[in-house]
Amino acid sequence: MAHPFVSNSNILHRSFARQPDRVVSASGLSLFLESGREILDASAGPAVSCLGFGRPEIAEVVANQMNQLPYLYSGARFTCDVTEELESMLLQGQPGGLSKAIFHERGMTQKHHVIARKQSYHGNTIGALCVSGHKSRRAMYGHWLSHNVSFVDPCFAYRLKGNESDQDYVKRLADQLEAEILRIGPENVSAFVAETVSGTTLGCLPAVPGYFKAVREICDRHDVLLILDEIMCGKALGGGFVPLSGVLLRNKIFDALADGSQGLAHGHTLQADPVVCAAALEAQRIIRDEDLLTNAREMGKVLERLLRTNLGHMEYVGDIRGRGLFWAVEFVQDRGTKTPFPADMRLCHQIVDKALDLGLNILGNLGETGDIHVDHAIMSPPYVVTESELGRMVGILRESIQTVMSEVIDIQGA
């Protein structure tokens, strides 16, 4: 049977209707295509390749670890030095009271309900999707999703704050969260889940000052865990070289596990994999030894300045927001009313595609995420980015926006 697909690959790619460009190599911040084209990666994948491409020291430690100890099953009574070293590095000084790590509440089983935020995204497993307020991604799995989840408003100052002061806005959101906890019953609510800086659903959305402090106080008052999802806005543990995630716990949570089941009921086949942990440990050493977090902060200021200077005056740019090297540009039809473009125009995807045609890789929003349609483009370059590279990136983004918007206006005026 013939299908109207243009892809002839045997791999089930994200899109069936488009033949993906084949990448043959990468170096620094550049991807090199089979066609000979060079693409400047301004998004670090989905904010993953924080060290850029081509780090021979990571390749070396991976090769050494493969020769020394390539695999260890964490379900048996084994551990190894490299895994313990990585955990110690991440938890040095017990940041925020965190003292234990798992790579990949008190034992009160009646606490079965989770509160999350609207227009959020926490992952594509059924469990993660249950607590994701992403409209289109939830829609097709509705019958599979738990009903023990409810949602409150995100901290979205650009669209939801109105004329309130930051303090009044924080109080309104905090009151809403506390009211939801009381509605469900504190004895039933196990956790509140939130992205510290929202990712692709709302576009690099930071909270207003005081928001998470208020949330923390409410959660503590009602014995509710606060789970902060920093998969996208935080540093990539593996530096983009290996797949790795981690869960960091406070002593209070570990004590509950130790006093109760005295272990974890489930695990993963490749949990705490030695090769992956070796690569991640070296990546974290590079970040520390090269002081890349300082560079990220300084280049983040440069990126903000370049975006505001080059794009801030554009008629269809509604908001520019972010933190560090994690920034988004939101597009609107009218800056005064903040009216978004129709969702079926797929405006941000047009801009992302045009940028790629011009040699720049950026991110756009993930479909219809909720009641508020948000068209945005994200730039999240690696920590090693230079000021000149940022200038090139913003220049191409500006050209992409100008080209697409001129075409959109021509179509609307026709």
Strand ranges in 164-215 using DSSP code E only, listed in sequence order: 189-195, 197-198, 205-206
Question: What confidence score (pLDDT) does residue 268 get?
Answer: 79
Question: What confidence score (pLDDT) does residue 317 get?
Answer: 97
Gap between the Cα atoms of 343 and 358, Å rounded: 24
Q: Are residues 115 and 230 in the same domain?
A: yes
> What is the H or E stretch that residue 68 is in?
helix 56-68
Measured at the CA of 42, the angle between CA 41 and CA 45, to 5 degrees, comes to 65
- CATH number of the domain encompassing residue 145: 3.40.640.10
- Environment class of 326 (CB within 10 Å of its CB; exposed 0-12, middle 13-18, buried 19+): buried
Is 310 part of any domain?
yes
Q: Are residues 69 and 199 in the same domain?
A: yes
**pLDDT tens-digit profile of 162-178?**
899 999 999 999 999 99
Domain limit, last residue, from 288, 305, 337: 288
Q: Are residues 339 and 365 in the same domain?
A: yes
Is 40 part of any domain?
no
DSSP state of 118: B
| pLDDT-above-90 percentage for the chain | 63
Confidence band for 384, pLDDT divided at 50, 70 and 90 = very high
Q: Are 351 and 377 in contact (CB under 8 A)?
A: yes
Gap between the Cα atoms of 134 and 52, Å rounded: 30
Gap between the Cα atoms of 282 and 7, Å rounded: 37
Could you count the other beta carbons within 10 Å of the beta carbon of residue 247?
12
| Nearest one of 297, 317, 299, 298 to 391, comparing CA atoms | 299
Domain limit, last residue, from 247, 263, 288: 288
Q: Are 210 and 218 in contact (CB under 8 A)?
A: no
Q: Are 264 and 102 in contact (CB under 8 A)?
A: yes
| Nearest one of 213, 203, 224 to 329, comparing CA atoms | 203
Whether the per-residue pLDDT at 143 is higher than 60: the answer is yes
Q: Are 199 and 206 in contact (CB under 8 A)?
A: no
User: Across the chain, which distance is largest between two alpha carbons, in Å?
Assistant: 70
Which range has the worst mean pLDDT, 4-18, 104-118, 352-366?
4-18
Q: Are residues 396 and 367 in the same domain?
A: yes
Is 29 part of any domain?
no
Q: Are residues 276 and 316 in the same domain?
A: no
Q: Are residues 169 and 157 in the same domain?
A: yes
Q: Are 42 and 381 in contact (CB under 8 A)?
A: yes
**pLDDT tens-digit profile of 186-219?**
999 999 999 999 988 899 999 999 999 999 999 9
Give the residue-averaged pLDDT of 285-305: 97
Q: Are residues 69 and 209 in the same domain?
A: yes
Domain limit, last residue, from 242, 269, 288: 288
Q: Which pair of structure tokens corresponds to residue 99?
A: 């003292």
Give the residue-averaged pLDDT of 112-132: 90
Number of domains in the chain: 2
Range of the domain at 318: 292-413
Q: Are 331 and 314 in contact (CB under 8 A)?
A: no
Residue keyed to tokens 């920093």: 230
Confidence band for 107, pLDDT divided at 50, 70 and 90 = very low
Confidence band for 414, pLDDT divided at 50, 70 and 90 = very low
**pLDDT tens-digit profile of 230-243?**
888 876 788 999 98
Which range has the worst mean pLDDT, 93-102, 132-141, 285-294, 396-405?
93-102
Query: In sequence order, which residues have a C-beta less than 8 Å from that of residue 79 and are 6 or more positions away?
Result: 72, 272
Provide φ and ψ at 250, rounded to 5°: -80, 160
DSSP state of 307: H
CA 282 from chain center: how many Å? Answer: 22
Q: Are residues 275 and 333 in the same domain?
A: no
